[in-house]
Amino acid sequence: MSFFSPEKANALIPLLTPLIDDLWRMRRELAIKLLEADPALRKAGRAGTAASERRSERGRCSELKAEIVRTISRIEAYGCVLKDIDLGLIDFPALRNGRPVFLCWKAGEGTVQHWHGTDENFTGRKTL
């Protein structure tokens, strides 16, 4: 495992931000598709939806799920860890005073400004 400095982590922010945006877009689209496909939520007019259309909707849901997994893999291929899609929360393995920690970045923050121990989470963030 490689460790990040704040500078090295910050250099990835411009690459990670659009990937997080893509995840949010795909997740929204998937949620809408799943709701539209739910028979209990279908409007009476859509009750007779053709089998081919339902298969197409299921296929799109499968595609979106696969795209989400691929995007998460792209994020983590940089050596960081996606901790929370909703928050756009990413941790970067680092060393602080000789011990392993995570540098912590949340989507919308301009730079990595926090860290926490490997046994802590977002609520235990400390300022660098």
Dig out the tokens for 48 from the structure: 């007779």
Is 1 contained in some domain? no
Number of domains into which the chain is organized: 1
Instruction: Give the neighbor-by-neighbor strand order of the sheet with 114-117.
Output: 81-84, 89-96, 99-106, 114-117, 126-127
Is 87 contained in some domain? yes
Is pTM beyond 0.85? Reply is no
Is 17 contained in some domain? yes
pLDDT tens over the chain, length 128 residues: 789 999 999 999 999 999 999 999 999 999 998 888 777 666 644 555 555 565 667 778 899 999 999 999 999 999 999 999 999 999 999 999 999 999 999 999 999 999 999 999 888 899 99
Is 78:12 a contact under the CB 8 Å cutoff? yes
Separation of alpha carbons 61 and 82, rounded Å = 22
Give the structural domain span for 61. 6-127
A 10 A CB-CB count for 9 gives 26
